Amino acid sequence: MSTIGIGQAAVLGIVEGVTEFLPVSSTGHLKITEGLMGIPVDDKAVVAFTAVIQVGAIAAVLVYFFKDIVRIMSAWGRGLANREERYHHDYKFAWWVIFATIPIVVVGLAAKPLIESTLASLWVVAGSLIVGSGLMWAADQMGRHKRGEDDTGFKDAMLVGCSQILALLFPGFSRSGATMSTGLILDLERVAATRLSFFLGIPALTGAGLYELKDAVGAGVDTLPLVVGTVVSFAVAYASIAWLLKFVAKHSFNAFVVYRIVIGVLLFGLLGTGVLAA
């Protein structure tokens, strides 16, 4: 029997869509929401469900950045066939995304049992929300915001790609927060860091969702809740992406830092008083 109903799936889809690409931790918010709705956060079916509905959010990225993705993949295809095309930035960028995804795949597969058990605790989420806030604030202060998207290189992609591991191991840290912060430390402009975060998240999150799909169905999650959660997350994530790119073009990440700290402290309080179970 499914542990998640249709109404709950819709709520989780909204939470996923709003938070997946904002630097506030979608995993953390999903776990908090699951806890408030009485859904066991460490249940294998629930863990699989949350990974699958991420595919809806990733689909929103594919649609939103469709022209960019086609341009990059076309350059990659031309470069495979023609040596002269391999000097094109888009051709190189395609390879960088592939190489930058390898570390998180290796760590994800190796640490899967730990990620789904001990590290799934809401205590970890609360601590990661606050610690991640410190990193975001420091990165925004340190970064000189002088390098655009065309100035990115292999080193940038690898460092930003590897930073995704922080969010993988410590739910609450935020994949977007970790990658954007790393981009800022590397002196990328906020919009450039945000776009790089989007592109690097496509293969990692899509792979995770597809990998967990069989477990979600096998663990007893009904197909309808999965579909509802995924469709809702797609629609909400598309709007969230558009809003975020406009926001970071004119604002710092301070609002997200404050929000994360407030949520982290609130979560510690709920756990400490027994309102939520870890």
pLDDT one-digit tens code per residue, 91-103: 999 999 999 999 9
Q: What is the pLDDT of residues 13-28, one digit of tens each?
A: 999 999 989 999 887 7
Q: What is the mean pLDDT of the chain?
A: 89
Max Cα distance, the chain (Å): 64
Query: Which residues are paired to 188 by β-bridges?
Result: 147
Give residue 194's identity as a one-letter amino acid code.
T
Non-local (6+) Cβ contacts of 275 within 8 A are: none
Q: How far apart are CA 157 and CA 197, in angstroms?
A: 9
Q: Is the pLDDT of residue 2 over 60?
A: no
pTM reported for the whole predicted model:
0.86
Query: Is the Cβ–Cβ distance between 150 and 63 less than 8 Å?
Result: no
Give percent of the chain above pLDDT 90.
Answer: 60
Encode 94-120: b = buried (16+ Cβ within 10 Å), e = exposed.
bebbeebbebbeebbeeeeeebbeebb
Q: How far apart are CA 34 and CA 271, in angstroms?
A: 14
Q: Band of the pLDDT at 223, cuts 50, 70, 90?
A: confident
Q: Is the pLDDT of residue 35 over 60?
A: yes
**147 DSSP assignment:** B
Q: Is the pLDDT of residue 58 over 60?
A: yes
Q: Is the pLDDT of residue 1 over 60?
A: no
Q: Is the pLDDT of residue 214 over 60?
A: yes
